[in-house]
Amino acid sequence: MKKSPLMIAAISAFALAELTTFAPEFRAEAKEVKVTTQIDYKSKPEQYKIKSKNKSLIPIQFLGINDLHGGLERTGNAWIGNTQYKNAGGAIRLAAYLNHAQQVFKKSNQAGHTFRIEAGDMVGASPSNSALLQDESTMHALKAMHFTIGTLGNHEFDEGLGEFHRIVVGGKPSKKYNSAEMKYPHQNSGLNIVISNVVKRSNNKPPYGFKPYMIKTVKSKAGKKVKIGFIGILTTTMPTLTTYKNYHPYKYLDEAQTIAKYDRILRKKGVKAIIVIAHTGVASKVDQQTNQAETSGPVVDILKKLYEIDPKNSVDLYFAGHSHQYSNATVGHTHLVQAIYSGEAYDDVIGYLNPKTHDFTKKGIKAHVFPTMSAEQDPSIKDDKKVGAIVKDADRRTAGIVNQKIGEAQAARSLTGRDHNNKNDENETGDLVVDAQLAGARQAVKAQELSVDFAMTNGGGVRAGLAVKPDKSITWGAAQDVQPFGNILDIVSMTGKEVYDVLNQQYRNYGAGHHTYLLVSGLKYDFVPTNDPKQPYKVVKVYGNDGKPIDLNKTYNVVINEFLKGGGDFFIQFKNAKQVGTAGVDTDVFVNYIKAQKPLIAPKLDRKNLVTGN
């Protein structure tokens, strides 16, 4: 995800966490925890075997991904350190690279064991060939790639956790979807979900039989056994990341305290090699001039807190997700990795277990994050045929819906999306989406005595740029890729002062990490830099499209999605706004708006104006 030069906001720890309490004797005085950042320079794995006289060591490989988001064919430009890999990603290439990495590992470690794990958001906000099949095509692909252990991300809650559980176990649809989904084969994914800090409000137990941790036993050539523990974690910021009806049935326990709790439980069971699989984000920064790198963000804060609770913890490896960034670092003795998103990269971590200590050797863990390069960039790695067949089948089943032409653009070029924001956090597709929502809301209340003045949506809710074909046509699938959630649009009343307040919430500095911003229609505004580190920018003038300033005391009607209405992305001002109407489903509204444009013209990016001194 592209960072704005205006602000790097964080996933803050103030979320509605339910904290686990530990006995005082478990807390010890901690030393300063060192954070060391590595940069991966190589694009593919090389043979690696630890030099040791101990012949009983057990080689272990962990291949990890995060934030696939149903990206069966989606590609992007992956930055790993200072190197950019164009058109990286896609499930077909990802499968091929995972197989290659395992083969390289096996050449040097014939008695080795490989685990393939994923750190949440495997589904949700997905392109059409996954979304139209309720993401079951993605689950088929993950099964074909031999992923066996995973944890929950926030997008696993998009349609309710029950629906995600259904596709994990291969159950039949609980309600009627499109014909393509109803005819799609429903099969058990073979994926074991571990989640320790999400429990039902009703009984304080993990939902759907998910386990808080998992123990796997591996053997050496001589038959010596060592246990490995896996702990699953989800960010406690869930109340800001999905709708109320989806997050409210559950409690989200403090990440660090929960890890410490289960680390202690596992150690009592004789497990000393412990892996955390967590959907919590990293903020990684690489200076292009000096090649110096820094790692910060929620994961670092969580691990530092863990070391405060228990400096002698046994967490050896932490797989992160959620922030869609590359990271390779160590925090204390814990190795930390995150592999961007959408299969653009993958984690390849190799370690050696000592049956005598039941733990990893001190210098035996080697962690890398490698790119999933395109066939053009790396023809030596051949596409995976098995996953390719799954993707091709998904394309065939959804083609009738996806390829429907719904409109035509003025120019034969795709509209920019969030990966190409301008300096003020605007992009053409995002502005088009809010224009569509404003027009759709006005149409929806046309027969009522109700006006709609403005539209606002969260930048993260616009998932892609709008693809335009060479003949200028726009398809249903292209529109769905932009607005995949199917959120209800709510119309709320807000005073002019409250409009100012919510616009200013985008510029609050929560620290390093998560970046949130609003896209607007029906209004424009000026904002200025400040000397306040907690509020680096301030909105000073808001005016309608007619150029007239809005009245602080007047009430305006604003159309927003239900995610924002629940206070999503920390825009808590919307949570308190009075709902006065609804305007349909965001995907449908966007499709209908494109149909009505003859032709569709890319919006001018002039709604946010940064005013600086002379």
Task: Decide the pairing of beta strands 273-279 and 315-319.
Answer: parallel
DSSP state of 48: -
pLDDT at 228: 98
Section 251-269 average pLDDT:
98
Same domain, 314 and 345: yes
The answer on 488 and 384 residing in a single domain is no
Is 396 a member of any domain?
no
Is residue 9 included in any domain, yes or no? Answer: no
Residue 581 has pLDDT above 90, yes or no: no
Stretch (H or E) spanning 590: helix 586-596
Give the residue from 343, 582, 263 showing the smallest Cα distance to 450.
582
Residues 370 and 272 in one domain: yes
Same domain, 540 and 436: yes
The reported pLDDT for the residue numbered 567 is 84
Pair (432, 330) in one structural domain: no
My answer on whether 334 and 415 are in the same domain is no
Clarify whether residues 119 and 235 are in a common domain: yes
Handedness of CA 145, 350, 301, 83 (dihedral sign): negative
At 113, the amino acid letter reads: H
What pLDDT is stored for residue 13 in this prediction? 29
Q: Which of 401, 491, 404, 486 is CA-nearest to residue 443? A: 491
- Pair 435, 303 in one domain: no
Specify whether 520 is located in the same domain as 380.
Answer: no
* Average pLDDT, integer, range 100-129: 95
pLDDT at 8: 31
pLDDT tens-digit series, residues 464-480: 999 999 999 999 999 99
Domain boundary pick from 329, 363, 389? 389
The answer to whether position 111 is within a domain reads yes
Task: Residue 273: give the domain boundaries.
Answer: 17-389
| Residue at a domain's end among 389, 421, 444 | 389
Mean pLDDT of 164-185: 96
Residue 5 located in a structural domain: no
Coil, strand or helix: which one is 574? helix
Q: Which of 389, 417, 448 is the last residue of a domain?
A: 389
pTM for the structure as a whole:
0.83
DSSP characters for 92-159?
Answer: HHHHHHHHHHHHHHHHH-TT-EEEEEE-S-SSSS--HHHHTTTTHHHHHHHHHTT--EE---GGGGTT
**363 and 452 part of one domain:** no
Domain total of the chain: 2
Where residue 290 sits, what CATH number does that domain have?
A: 3.60.21.10
- What tokens does 253 get? 């326990």
The number of CA neighbours under 13 Å toward the Cβ of 267 is 12
Please name the helix (run of DSSP H) or strand (run of DSSP E) that holds residue 390, with its range, or none: helix 385-402
Question: Quick check: is 11 in a domain?
Answer: no
| Window from 124-133, 243-252, 517-526, 568-577 with minimum mean pLDDT | 568-577
**Is 35 a domain residue?**
yes
What's 525's domain CATH number? 3.90.780.10
Q: Give the dihedral sign, CA 260/264/265/267.
A: positive
3-state SS class at 243: coil
Question: CB-based burial of residue 266 (10 Å sphere; 0-12 exposed, 13-18 middle, 19+ buried)?
Answer: buried
Is 26 within the bounds of a domain? yes
- Token pair listed for 524: 């424009």
Question: pLDDT of 482-499, one tens digit each?
Answer: 998 888 899 999 999 999
Which pLDDT tens digit goes with each residue over 13-71? 222 222 222 333 333 344 689 999 999 999 999 988 888 878 899 999 999 999 999 99
What is the arithmetic mean of pLDDT over 84-98? 96
Co-location of 465 and 349 in the same domain: no
- pLDDT class of 529 with cuts at 50, 70, 90: very high
Is-contact 560 456, C-beta < 8 A? Answer: yes
Please check whether residues 190 and 84 belong to one and the same domain. yes
Residue 253 resides in a domain: yes
**Which one, of 232, 217, 200, 218, lies nearest residue 119 by Cα?**
232
Summarize pLDDT for 296-320 with one digit per residue, the tens.
999 999 999 999 999 999 999 999 9
Which two tokens mark 228? 């490995």
